[in-house]
Chain A
Amino acid sequence: MKIQTTTMALLLSGVLLVGCGGGGSSSNNDNMMTDINLPDGLTMIFFDNVSSKQYLYNTDSEKYEDMNADETQNYDMTGKHGKLFLWNHESATGIDQKIVMLNEDFDINEGNITHTGFQYLGHFHEENNEKHFAAHSPSEFDPDNNASAQKLAALTALSSTLLEQEEIKTEIAEALPSGESLCNYFVFEHEEHEEEHEGNETEEHHEEETAAHIALTTTGSVYVLAEQNGTLQSTQAAFALEGVSSCESDKSAIIKASDHGVIIFSAVSQKLYLVDNHGIDFHQHSSWDIAKFLPAGFTPTTLTAITEEGDHDHDHY
């Protein structure tokens, strides 16, 4: 509270006569910021697999949207269950970020995905500098419903990605110390940098350091691994997330926040944790209570998100 906002007349009655009875911390700050300040450029989808509630949240506008509000939309999950998967679909035009709501019991190890294996397959359109989510229904991918070859090819590609992820998951799980089991994970992509050397204008391609693998274990510990001499090895001290002592894969998520950080979600603590690296080690940089920016009473079990950089043209099936 600025003194200027009080009148001098209040001094006697307020400052002097209040006395010393008010022990403890009583300060308020009118300048307090209320911004959420989640990392910019993220559009997140939160889903509660118990209540089927589903919200979309944009970190730039800091606004949320009830995705189940319009039952005509293919992504309406009212009364349904599922699990979110971010599919970085590589195509001729680049990487297209798609969001797939898989059936909750879908397991790629039991066979490739078909139109019966998911609830919707969505992506974002940008109109008037605003992102709009749209989704295809499973029936559009039904061969018996004259699904296009492009759509069927997309499912084949999705199956390949899911299988690849299974392999990575197995590799990470095997690299963890004994006594630890993998709960969730994220792998930063290999980045190739182009370096222009002044003078001779030659270009040199080189790989950056080995990509970091972020592993969240069932005990709530975070391990950072990287490939060294052909095997995944821990690159720093493991650390825990505040308020997290256990983890289940369908009650957690790890999404990319930037090239140097991820956001980890725990349904146990109902928090998001920014784990990033702006020194040597990844660490919990910040955390946010879900209730701070999503409707009261909504307790998501999982989430996924697309990042700004992934805003490429996407294929239309």
Chain B
Amino acid sequence: MTTTKRSLITLSLTATLALANPIELGTVNVVENQVSNSNEDVAYSTTNSVEELAKNSLGETLGDYLSSELGVDSATYGAAVGRPTVRGMEGYRVGIAQGGIMLNDLSAMSQDHAVGLNAKVVERIELAKGPASLLYGSYSGGVIRTLGEEHIAKLPKEGASLDLSLSTNSDTGKGTKHFKGSYATKALALYLNYFNHEADNYSSDGIEVPASDTSSEQLHGVLEWQINPNVLLKFYGDRMDKEYGIPNRTTERTDILMEQERYGLVLHTKNLWGFKNIITEIQQSDYRHYEREDGRYDGLFDQVQLSLSTKFDFNLGENTQAKFRLEWIENELKVCHEHGACEKLSLGARTNAINGLSLLNYYNATGIAYSHGHPMPDTKEQKLLLGANLKHYYGDSDEFSLATNAVLRKLTIDSSNMQETWLMHPSVDSDYYDEESKSALSFSLGWWHEWSDALTTQLSISYLERLPSSQELLWNGFHHATESYILGNRDLDKEQSINLDLDILYKHNDAFSSKLSLYYYDFKNYIYQSPKVDASGTPMLDPFHLSPIWEMRGVGAAIYGLGIEESYKTQIGEHQLNFLAQLNVLKGELDEGGYIPRMAPYNATFSLEHKVGNWNNLISYKWVDESRNEAVNESHTEGYQLLNLSSSYTYKLNKRSVEFWLKGTNLTDDIAKNHISFLKDSAPLQGRAVTFGVKYQY
């Protein structure tokens, strides 16, 4: 961190602290703390507690936790990896944030990379879309905000609290350990959250899936200081380690060693100069992952991120509220890819040889600037983001939203890591390594209307611009995990889309409600990886590894679909029954004809929750259709069904409770290939398994 940056951060914090004098408080609406269940309302953002999401989750990844939400799927291929996809949007089109800061990992770049976060170490997860999401960035699929203890604007309850849980899985032979505890006085608190997940290879159809094991642990700690009734300071540290296999087709074991450290400070100020709910955060994080094959360190990605942000609410009038968020973020990515030579980062040797000679030779011989060096140069992105969201209420039945997000980005490219012979030759692309500054501007309009006590609708229309990532622009080389050659496109323009979202909630009565979610996203420049084909339409293979070439393209496309959710509750004596049915249908089409790859097949879920006394039981059945709308040269996946059953019993002893639970997943042992996974052909989902767990709360 440079002295200038440190000074800026220190000055900003000091100013906020100094100015935040104690103020007598009125009623404050702290949005961060609200938990709104998605099937009881229509809203641009819904928040669920992690504990609730865990009950329905089939695994421990963020995707597992959210896949019961309407329109959400998980690009999972095992116990370790599962990045959520939302309404057909994947990768960079879905933002995953901690508080408001985008997660410092590489899961958006390629969904075979694990998300740099275990869901268990956060408290709540919010799904934001339309106007609500523009505060944090412009993402067609919206933003998934994970809210840790540091993002909650109050201290834990006074005294000590403790959650301890253990689980074991019949299939993988191992399980999870989770510890969460806090101790708080009126002014100070300490919070610790530790999660460990171990799993050996899982099985599908009775056959062990090689290299599907995982070992993951994360420790999250927060020190909290209520400086005065108006100001709360939270300092957090986090360390995550993960080692997981990649069940690809190689005969040698491929695995990833991942580690991440985060430190940050969050300053919550309730009121200052008429602004409310001010959250100022500084975060420094260091992410690193190694890609290994047969124990050799073939790849290394190191990403350091520094962010300074502030967010606040402001009342512009009696019926008009505004939210603002400003963020400065710097992200440095360093890359190594050389067989057995990526235990550490290094600089490419420089001699008097011609720069880019080998690449030029390939370009002249084949028309493609193939490279067998590091797949991309080191990059530094510096971004300034401004998000604003205005809400105006007309009576009790109408709410209008207008949101905007502006991004200014400076991308600096440093080719000193590249081997000289694989540098981009000037005669192929003369400005390949030039620094660039670009901007993106997005808008969203929303209208929430309550037509009657029974019928509520929410409509939003957004124009979104997304700057292509440095990987989309600059990657040119092999990707071990997915056994593919990725051909970036330095000339990609920003992705533009017009997104239309309509949610309709009809409450038949207090017990029965229906929800319909319709969406249509029209892209002018949809950026995606497409198999590169030759003139005869045959998929091309790279000359070094005979791997398929995936070319980064920006094309016109449309993604549209609907989600239907029926919710019914009833009480029979002491038995409470909650029935939920969901249907998700979506399609992704290219304007030039054909379909977008890795779109979630049609699927439906039926679940029945039963509560009586201290018992809580849940049975769910998920039907997933075969892949029908496949991209050219995309492999087909058969349909499958998942039958899951869980049951828990809770002993309550004064302030303590002990819960025993049993969860059976994929009880029919169906062979399930996840169509949205890059590894769908080699890594089916887990077969029948039973997990037993116990949880102690104090």
Q: Which residues of A contact B (CB under 8 A)?
A: 1-4, 8, 11-12, 15-16, 18-27, 29, 31-33, 35, 37, 219-221, 236-246, 269, 274, 278-281, 283-288
Contact = CB atoms under 8 A, between A and B. Distances in A.
Contacts of A1: 241, 259
Interface string B486-523: 00000000000000000000000000000000000000
A239 B261 CA distance: 40
A15 B283 CA distance: 14
Contact of B241 (A2, A236, A274): A2
Interface of B: 1, 6, 190, 192, 194, 196, 217-219, 221, 223, 235-239, 241, 257, 259, 261, 263-265, 282-284, 286, 288, 290, 295-297, 302, 304, 306, 334, 338-341, 343, 345, 348-349, 351-354, 357-358, 361-362, 364-366, 370, 372-373, 419-421, 541-547
Contacts of B354: 240
Contacts of A280: 541, 543-544, 546
A180 to B, nearest CB: 12
A239 B241 contact: no
A245 B288 CA distance: 33
Given A3-B239, A11-B219, A25-B345, A32 B421 contact: no
A281 B282 CA distance: 49
A16 B282 contact: no
B294 to A, nearest CB: 9
Contacts of A26: 286
Nearest to B243: A31
Contacts of A20: 1, 263-265, 282-284
Nearest to A287: B341
29 contacts: A3-B217, A3-B219, A3-B241, A4-B217, A11-B192, A11-B221, A15-B237, A15-B239, A18-B263, A21-B1, A31-B257, A32-B297, A32-B343, A37-B296, A219-B353, A237-B358, A237-B365, A238-B358, A239-B421, A244-B351, A245-B352, A280-B543, A281-B543, A281-B544, A283-B543, A283-B544, A286-B340, A286-B341, A287-B338
Given A11-B221, A280-B546, 12 more contacts: A15-B239, A16-B223, A20-B284, A23-B304, A23-B306, A26-B286, A27-B286, A236-B365, A237-B366, A240-B353, A245-B351, A278-B546
A239 B343 contact: no
Contact of A12 (B190, B288, B297): B190
A4 B241 CA distance: 10
A238 B364 CA distance: 10
B304 A15 contact: no
A24 B341 CA distance: 21
B4 to A, nearest CB: 12
A281 B370 CA distance: 11
Given A8-B194, A279-B546, A23 B341 contact: no
A252 to B, nearest CB: 14
Nearest to B190: A12
A236 B358 CA distance: 11
B338 A286 contact: yes
Nearest to B334: A25
B361 A237 contact: yes
Nearest to A15: B237
A241 B541 CA distance: 23
A243 B420 CA distance: 8
A42 B87 CA distance: 55
A15 B219 contact: yes
A102 B92 CA distance: 62
B90 to A, nearest CB: 28
Contacts of A16: 221, 223, 235-237
Given A245-B351, A286-B339, A287-B338, A23 B223 contact: no
Contacts of A19: 263
Nearest to B303: A25
B166 to A, nearest CB: 15
Nearest to B296: A37
Nearest to B352: A245
Contact of A15 (B221, B241, B339, B343): B221
Nearest to B373: A242
Contacts of A11: 192, 219, 221, 237
A278 B478 CA distance: 14
Contacts of A279: 541-547
Given A20-B284, A237-B364, A27 B259 contact: yes
Contacts of A242: 348-349, 373, 419-421
Contacts of B196: 4
B241 A243 contact: no
Contacts of B235: 16
B538 to A, nearest CB: 15
A228 to B, nearest CB: 15
Which 4 A-B pairs give the minimum distances between C-beta atoms? A243-B349, A245-B353, A239-B358, A245-B351
A244 B357 CA distance: 12
Which interface residue of B241, B265, B340 has the most chain A CB atoms within 10 A? B340
A27 B372 contact: no
A163 to B, nearest CB: 33
Contacts of B370: 237
Contacts of A239: 357-358, 361-362, 372, 421
